[in-house]
Chains A and B, each alone.
Chain A
């Protein structure tokens, strides 16, 4: 009876932790298999421990090339989507104008559309225009689908911002530019940063839209996709593990910094 009651009172926690395990299991497998030394072309079965792939992550042809291409595209897409998205977010929160509803639905639709539909329609546009598929078409597509997410993230932050802070700055004779750079931008910064981070992750990881609009250009997700057919090098697992670790460290560092800042403010 005691055990049963303990179990029942912890049911949510147990179920939640099981779900968390389900979510993390592939990452654990990816990490473990980055130390594998597979026999064949595929890295699906455990053979023996080896750190070869970690000491030579670029040892596979085209892997690091595709990785650096993906990083470049993600960087440019983040920059483009963040600038355009922040401007839209400010316009939507700060101004009343006609066509606000239309703009809002145009922002919402790309997020509510299956990726394959957007990917296919964009491809028909490029085919009709006779555009050369490659770096530029990928970049155009990535800015397009990241834009809405940036707008949403920045909008949330700007909406919770007190407009009186800007009025106060102007009362203290700050010019419009000064007000924007010294007051508005710093307050909106966390929202903009969140939007940018989201855009970077989305662009770097995108496969479906890139697959349609890349032509013969190979980004990192496309390299992984191709390797699933031809044979997966262990280096893919190394990159996957490294990305996971970098992301966790990045977030932890951010949390430590913001904690310290809060404590300084408190004291």
Chain B
């Protein structure tokens, strides 16, 4: 019964304890970080070092590899595979542009015009993620089949004559041509464009549109002077999220393309898993990384949103 009297006095409150945010345990953040960061260091950063070292090794699979600072591997890789590098950049760049052209109206639609359909459309954009992307990419084989309605329509409209002249299709086929690969890439990475665009469009205050209208801006002028500039963060992160994975992709080029549409990802995959020429594969993979870093840095500097990441 004595314990009752020892109950903490409610008033006056014990002198309000000094509670500067998180004084106890100055080591706490490090303990929280340790396991996850260790994981990333060991399985992400360290492998990059290993790969760098592999790329300057010589030797053979039987006798083992030795670090010999053999930088010639890089020159040989560039000399042998520059068409695949160029193709990767060209395909990924085209797919990114198409994603922007297709994704912008859809993101705009969801953000401003969809009303009560907004959530449903958002679900329909995200839900395909849960169907294996390989299955969906294979479906394009059916859609673009030689005797299918799409190729038939394109033929009737003489579109394929134009695209063949441009060199992105061959004869009256779409499958196994650059067009099919670009189509697959665009399709696969479109959601990565739509979602950041939508997020940045959704943040725009609708009253800005009204204000622009009150100032006699035509809808297109409003778009050009108000909406688009304000959505730039979304445009930048969307293009990066599309371009980077697209330039390293080898699934679309393998499933929808031919030997003439091989991208650098295909080469890395073959060198690593079939030919087992690890130094060349590592050098190619490093070159791809460096190339992308260079393009991305240039792009971010140009678009002037360095505080993005």
Contact = CB atoms under 8 A, between A and B. Distances in A.
Given A20-B125, A212-B273, A29 B130 contact: no
Task: Give the interface size bracket for B toward A.
Answer: 35 or more
Contacts of B40: 106-107, 110, 144, 147-148
A121 B285 contact: yes
A112 interface: yes
B208 interface: no
Given A22-B190, A125-B46, A240-B136, A120 B250 contact: no
B97 interface: no
A207 B32 contact: no
Given A85-B36, A144-B43, A211-B269, A112 B133 contact: no
A116 B248 contact: yes
Contacts, number: 253
A12 B131 contact: no
Nearest to B289: A117
Contacts of A15: 102, 105-106, 109
Q: Tell me whether chain A's interface is mostly helix, strand or loop, or mixed.
A: helix
A114 B273 CA distance: 17
Interface in B231-253: 240, 244-245, 247-251
Given A107-B40, A121-B285, A84 B35 contact: yes
Interface stretch (B72-80, B116-124, B160-168, B209-217): B116-124
A116 to B, nearest CB: 4
B292 interface: yes
Interface residues of A, number: 87
B153 interface: no
Interface in B27-84: 28-30, 32-33, 35-37, 39-41, 43-48, 50-51, 54
Contacts of B129: 201, 205, 247
Interface of A: 11-13, 15-20, 22-27, 29-30, 33, 44-45, 84-85, 87-88, 90-91, 94-95, 97, 103, 106-110, 112-118, 120-125, 127-128, 140-141, 143-144, 147-148, 151, 163, 167, 170, 173, 201, 204-205, 207-208, 211-212, 220-221, 224-225, 228, 232, 236-237, 239-241, 243-244, 246-248, 251-252, 255
> Which 4 A-B residue pairings sit nearest by Cβ, starting from the closest?
A114-B248, A16-B109, A247-B130, A15-B105
Given A20-B125, A87-B32, A121-B47, 10 more contacts: A16-B109, A24-B124, A29-B139, A91-B28, A113-B244, A114-B292, A121-B285, A208-B250, A208-B251, A244-B127
